Chains A and B, each alone.
Chain A
């Protein structure tokens, strides 16, 4: 089953150590076949809203920077607990902040 893990921006500044730890973590997850895709997101973004026939395009930011989603990882695991365990390890590396995991349905 697939889970999408989204992570809000971290307050801690990324240092050399974080990069190394993160590199190892990504390598390990890739090798074990867990990590399908990962990426960072630009902080502000653009919002497109529809109301009847009206389409409105608004430039961000839309949230406090601490609430903005800064990155995502799509993982393939055998249980929700595995997804939580992977996220727990990720949080140990990046420090204070929050990640959300949601199961991804279909196409499989």
Chain B
């Protein structure tokens, strides 16, 4: 590797670790996330030119921030926008360059997950500005083209700029709602990696990891919120099982057949710790906390047959009142079937089958078939095509 390549890799690593804070700090100054990113990118180019000659600076994050801020000041002077902006700049320059308050990163997360933006744009913008991923990396993770990602990011920035979405302090009463929107974006990224909806692979670990990082970050910067810790716990506990969900030939392995000895204890412990934090914060449990509580039940069972299905069934009942999606209601039926017998599960499935929204849900016949088989009604169960069997994450989770 040449010295130049080496610097390039170092700069890239520094960028990934620092870009969220640099962009957040700049957005505070220039009030536009698109301009902030351009200025930060300019600083990155400066680094690529300077560091091979001068060596990596003592504090690379502060270096990037200082250079970027200087450019931001130039930019603002050129724009000569408002006197108020000048005062803001003067105040900001008094602050040490690297010290960007965590609130700024939180507000950057809020901005990226703004309700004005469609979901694909929210995820693209979040991964770009907060995760520090390039368009190429994001495209690879989502199995799409670089130009699609670039287009989404550009459209998102344009929408925010045109709507003059500010970087102001949020009213405290608006925070929970905005946090919920950020949580949804993070879980979307995680799920895309965990139960990949496209492509050959069942799992795209880089997306799971990126979502985990964002969740852990949010937990540290957001005001105490049980749902945030619930989502973090949920993701840690799911990630703990990732390696056992796929068999040697790439086939999905159902939860009750997984080798629990290979579950990642470290991530399970981290998931439990996040749950404790959520419990300390208290309040009525939201959907992420309930799903995490279900994941806790599975993680606590040393063997599949030790699973506390009664508790899981009651957690699903609570979840079904909060978010009665087809997946949740069907999983509830599976859990009821395990907790109170196949007949009880089947009764619940049959009430779902009469529900218009669920009638054509593709997983319903396979769950029904499993329950019929357990009841010894093989003739009815046998009509279920085997490829319609539910995958691991659809069963009792």
Contacts and interface: CB of A to CB of B under 8 A. Distances in A.
B35 interface: no
A31 B102 contact: yes
Interface of A: 27, 30-34, 36-37, 74, 76, 78-79, 81-82, 84-86, 88, 92, 106-108
Identify the interface centre among A78, A84, A92: most chain B CB within 10 Å of its CB.
Answer: A78
A31 B205 contact: no
Given A31-B217, A81-B13, 9 more contacts: A31-B221, A33-B214, A34-B17, A36-B270, A37-B266, A76-B213, A79-B13, A84-B13, A85-B60
Contacts of A108: 205, 239, 242-243, 264
Interface in B215-242: 215-217, 220-221, 239, 242
Interface string B4-21: 000001101110110000
B9 A32 contact: no
A33 B213 contact: yes
Interface of B: 9-10, 12-14, 16-17, 56, 58-60, 102, 205-206, 209, 212-217, 220-221, 239, 242-243, 262-264, 266, 270
A78 B102 CA distance: 22
Contacts of B262: 107
B266 A33 contact: no
B9 A81 contact: yes
B225 to A, nearest CB: 15
A84 to B, nearest CB: 7
A13 B59 CA distance: 23
A81 B10 contact: yes
A33 B216 CA distance: 5
Contacts of B17: 32, 34, 82, 85-86
B243 A106 contact: yes
Contact of B14 (A27, A31, A74, A85): A85
A32 B16 CA distance: 10
Identify the interface centre among A34, A74, A79, A82: most chain B CB within 10 Å of its CB.
Answer: A82
Given A36-B270, A107-B243, A108-B242, A92 B12 contact: no
A25 to B, nearest CB: 12
Contacts of A37: 266
Contacts of B205: 108
B9 A76 contact: no
Report, nearest first, the 8 A-B pairs whose CB atoms are least far apart.
Answer: A33-B213, A31-B220, A33-B216, A81-B13, A82-B13, A81-B9, A107-B243, A85-B13
B266 A85 contact: no
B13 to A, nearest CB: 4
B13 A31 contact: no
